[in-house]
Structure 1
Amino acid sequence: MFATQQRWAWMALFVAALGCSRGSGVDVSVSVNSNTTTASESTHAAEEVSRESKGVIGFSALTLTNPFFSIIADNLQEEAAKHGYEVLVDDANRDVKTQSEQIDTYITRGAAAIVINPCDRLSIGPAIKRANEAGIPVFTSDLQCVAEGAKITGHVGTDNFGGGKLAGEAMIEAVGETGGKVLVLHFEQAQSCVLRVEGFKEVIDAYNKERESGKIEIVAELDGGGLRDEGFKATSAAIQSDPDISGIFAINDPSALGAYAALEQAGKVGQVKIVAFDGQLDGKQAIKEGKIYADPIQFPDRMGQITIQNIVKYLNGEDFEQITLIPTELYRRADADKDPELK
């Protein structure tokens, strides 16, 4: 056992060298580009706010290389325009310092509100506090901030804990009665991913307690970064260290697709089942092609729309749900086969 622990500890360091608090509320709901890019084209360096505009809302995205966050950005802009506001979109590129500077710029611009996907659930706290001190409301979308003393006016995201439980159920289906060893591709900087993994583990633990054999063993949790290349590196290292891995839970589609590429390179396609999370178009296509077993799917369009609706209610002095959680739905190959969006 000690030798096994040593091997996984070494492997975690090796991957690093190469290189998501349970919410409460009603309905429930991770990805990057350069600092001056927007969902469509950067509006940050664009023209001044028109006289007809009621004001600007700043949005600092975790990363715009992930289409998930671009969808949030597009819907923030579209919904805000309906209410007379303009949204400035910036890509934090998963960097806390960059995101902090973007928040400071929104403060200087006198933004009516700020929306962020926190690059780190704790480290972004000081920048949020500066916005609090300036009297600018801060809203989080998809990813939560849990930094002490940082006031978040409202949050709209996924029921990530519930989604993680669905992922656990999918993994049980995927590996079958024989059970086996499972790798988790994590991204612990994001509170949403922390919740996904917690929900996943709860279902797996409950399943194992009812069985004498065919248990599912989580043998490693490695940082997949929420990205294809990092998911590839982590999976490559994992299957080299333990060739008997039979399942992978990835916290989003990009890292899952990276994991599949690693399996393909190692000649292990079909031997390891992948359960992901998101339901992006390329993730759904991968499910149709049998590369991914299933996804609890999220609704980033609704996240953007509801966030703006809540901001407008807040600015108008109206009541709104401070925490809105959007439930996920489990998406399997049968769903993909009848999905008109897919090839």
Structure 2
Amino acid sequence: MNLTNFIRSTVLKSHKVEAARIELRCLIGVSILVVSALTIFALFGCAQPRDAYYFVISQSGNPYWQVIKQGIEETGTKKGITPTVVFADLAGKDNPNWFNVILSQRPKIIVFGGLPPKEEAEYIRLADREGIKVAEVNFDPTPSNEAKKANIDLAFCVLANHESVGKRAAEFVAATKKRPDPKILIIGGPPGNAFSEGRANGFKVAIKNLVPQAHVVATVYASWDRAKAEGLVKESLAANPDLDFIYAVNDGMALGASDAVQAAGKGKQIAIIGVDATLAARKAIKAGTLAATLIQVPYWMGIETCEKAADVGKGVSVEKQESVPVLLISKEVIESKKDPLLQYLR
């Protein structure tokens, strides 16, 4: 190879190396741009999703709301939507502006439930002001009542009614009483608690109509505490040894009542009714130490809420007001397996 050709070859190789370097730098630059774009999308691209459905609920430690969440999420898949369930009591700890973030995403609808009534009513007002459809799933009618007062049109309301739980308990007493004038003890939660008062008052009104000769010997308050309920029942049995029924407005207190009744050897005489259909209560019913328990099925509430929200988001008309049915569970109901609401127990 002569000198001229050698120089040409060397220059050509040098150009190729430089071209390769330029190409590599370009590839690296493009890669950085792509990664940056993907990062930006991941962080902000969801700021305005096309079909966001939010369910803002509270009491993350409450098993009722956890089951409602389960019903919402499992139904979302069937309805072709991706529901986002936010526990407000947790979201506020992570980001004080969490609700503004939700509003910025312009969701199809926001369904609220279980927050402190005044706080929830304010969130409803803020969402409505932004032109976002709002709805309610709740055990407390206060937020929906506040929305009505403010002329806010709720897309729908799925509402549990505590009085209807008490009424169903009274119907059970009327159907199973052994004498026309049964004696009944009512065990409430904390005095003044809306849930407790609703369940107790619903029972009192219904039993007066269904069994006029029935006698409520007393209403005692055990503040949701099993041991306290047991002690109160022991005292009541001393004053009323011929008691026929005990209606406790939650299962924990019903189980406490059962402890006292069994200790007194009056398990066959006194029928005990609880509320919430906890696993412990259902086991007690099978064992014969509780007569019945009632529940406004939370999984059903989650399903119904998600179905309605999906329909509203798609422009389908829905029933504005939906009352949550009450399931009464007794040994007969468990064994017959005929009540369709049993499928929603979790």
TM, length-normalised to structure 2: 0.64
1:159-308 superposed matches below 5 A: 160-172=162-174, 176-177=178-179, 179-186=182-189, 189-190=193-194, 195-207=198-210, 209=212, 211=213, 215-217=214-216, 219-220=218-219, 222=221, 224=223, 230-236=224-230, 238-239=232-233, 242-243=236-237, 244=239, 246=243, 247-251=245-249, 255-261=250-256, 263-264=258-259, 267-268=263-264, 270=267, 272-308=270-306
The 8 Å contact of residues 56 and 112 in structure 2, kept in 1 or not, is answered as yes
Structure 1: distance between partners of 2:257 and 2:101 = 40
Q: Structure 1 residues 318 and 285 mapped into 2: Cα distance closer, same or farther (>3 Å)?
A: same
Aligned to 1:88: 85
Q: Distance in 2 between matches of 1:180 and 1:260?
A: 19
Q: Any residues of structure 2 matched to 1:139-178 within 5 Å, and which?
A: 139-147=135-143, 148-150=145-147, 151=152, 152-158=154-160, 160-172=162-174, 176-177=178-179
Structure with bigger helix share is 2
144 and 84 in structure 1: CA distance in 2 versus 1, 3 angstrom threshold? same
Is contact 1:256–1:274 with CA below 8 Å preserved after alignment?
A: no
Q: Deviations over 1:112-166 (max 9, x none)?
A: 4333332455664334333333333332224133245324432224465444322
Matched, 1:311 2:313: no
Report SS of the residue matched to 2:146: coil
Q: How far apart are residue 264 of structure 1 and its match? A: 1.9
Q: Which has the higher contact order (CA 8 A, sep 6+)?
A: 1
Q: How far did 1:91 drift?
A: 6.6
What one-letter code is carried by the residue in structure 2 that aligns with 1:257?
A: G
Name structure 1 gaps, 5 residues minimum.
Answer: 1-45, 225-229
What is the letter of the counterpart of residue 201 of structure 1?
A: K
Task: Check conservation: 1:141, 1:303, Cα contact below 8 A.
Answer: yes
Distance, in Å, in 2 between the alignment partners of 1:201 and 1:242 is: 18
Which residue number in structure 1 is paired with residue 322 of structure 2? 324
Answering whether residue 48 of structure 2 is matched by residue 54 of structure 1, we say no
Tell me the amino acid that sits aligned with residue 256 of structure 1. Answer: D
AA aligned opposite 1:168? A
How many residue pairs match? The answer is 280
- Please give the alpha-carbon distance, in whole angstroms, between the structure 2 residues aligned to 1:223 and 1:127: 34
Work out the CA distance in 2 between the residues paired with 1:265 and 1:275: 14
- 1:72 deviates by 1.5
Q: 1:275 to 1:49 in 2, by over 3 A?
A: farther
Which shows bigger deviation, 51-60 or 75-84? 51-60
Given the alignment, which residue of 117, 122, 128 partners 1:126? 122
Quick one: which of 55, 66, 74 aligns to 2:70?
74
Aligned to 2:317, the other structure's residue is in SS state coil
| Ranges of 4+ aligned residues in structure 1 off by more than 6 Å | 50-53
Q: CA deviation at 1:60?
A: 1.1
Q: Which amino acid aligns with 1:90?
A: F
Q: Over the residues paired in the alignment, what is the CA RMSD in angstroms?
A: 4.1
CA contact (8 A) 1:53 1:85 kept: no
Structure 2 residues not aligned, in runs of 5+: 1-42
3-state SS of paired residue (1:242): helix
Q: Which residue does 1:136 correspond to in 2?
A: 132
Q: Deviations over 1:4-54 (max 9, x none)?
A: xxxxxxxxxxxxxxxxxxxxxxxxxxxxxxxxxxxxxxxxxx999599872
Give 3-state SS (helix, strand or coil) of 1:54's partner. coil
Q: What is the identity, as a one-letter code, of the residue corresponding to 1:153?
A: A
Name the % identity: 17
User: 1:276 touches 1:294 (CA, 8 Å); kept in 2?
Assistant: yes
For 1:241 and 1:123, the matched residues in 2 are separated by 41
Q: Which residue of 2 aligns with 1:40?
A: none
Q: 1:273 to 1:320 in 2, by over 3 A?
A: same
> 1: CA distance between counterparts of 2:142 and 2:158?
14
Write the distance in 2 (CA, Å) between the matches of 1:143 and 1:123.
Answer: 15
Q: CA 1:141–1:83 in 2, change beyond 3 Å: closer, same or farther?
A: same
Q: Which amino acid aligns with 2:204?
A: K
